[in-house]
Amino acid sequence: MTYRVCFVCTGNICRSPMAEVVFRARVAEAGLEDLIEVDSAGTGGWHEGDGADPRTVAVLEGNGYAVGHTARQFQPSWFSRLDLVVALDAGHLGALRRLAPTEQDARKVRLLRSYDPSAGDDLDVPDPYYGGVDGFEECLEMVEAASAGLLAAVRKDVEGSAA
């Protein structure tokens, strides 16, 4: 059975595609690509059909990640097929939980940085869109730092459901 993870930010051109690309790489490194499906979306549809922000692409490619992305908007109907919905900040967390058709679906929504033990109390990944490339680099650092803990949690869920 495939475990499905979807990362969600505002427009699906900066943070969530970055998280998708990084996490997909971690899943592949772990040899779990046949068991875990990784995707992303935005809470809004302003950028639907667009590629990732050029700064996102540059930072990812500069750090050895392959990027292929088309932005889309998260749909409430997706909850039924997703196992985990990963929000990039508290605003997304609240919006997604309000969209959830059931309480069980709302419990599927988690903050990405909650999987990073060094994050402390600040669990938001700041939106780099209105700043320079340094904000995108900081975003990548936060995403990479949380990805190991997220992979461990997802692996535990996958192994638990296979038992």
* pLDDT at position 89: 98
Walk along the chain (163 residues) and give the pLDDT tens digit of each residue.
899 999 999 999 999 999 999 999 999 999 999 999 999 999 999 999 999 999 999 999 999 999 999 999 999 999 999 999 999 999 999 999 999 999 999 999 999 999 999 999 999 999 999 999 999 999 999 999 999 999 999 999 998 876 6
* pLDDT at position 34: 96
The length of the chain, given as a count of residues = 163
d(CA 151, CA 72): 24
Q: Under CATH, to which class is 3-162 assigned?
A: alpha beta
d(CA 109, CA 127): 19
* Residue 18 token pair: 């970055």
Catalytic residue positions, numbered: 9, 15, 127
d(CA 111, CA 146): 10
* pLDDT at position 163: 60
Ranges of each domain in the chain: 3-162
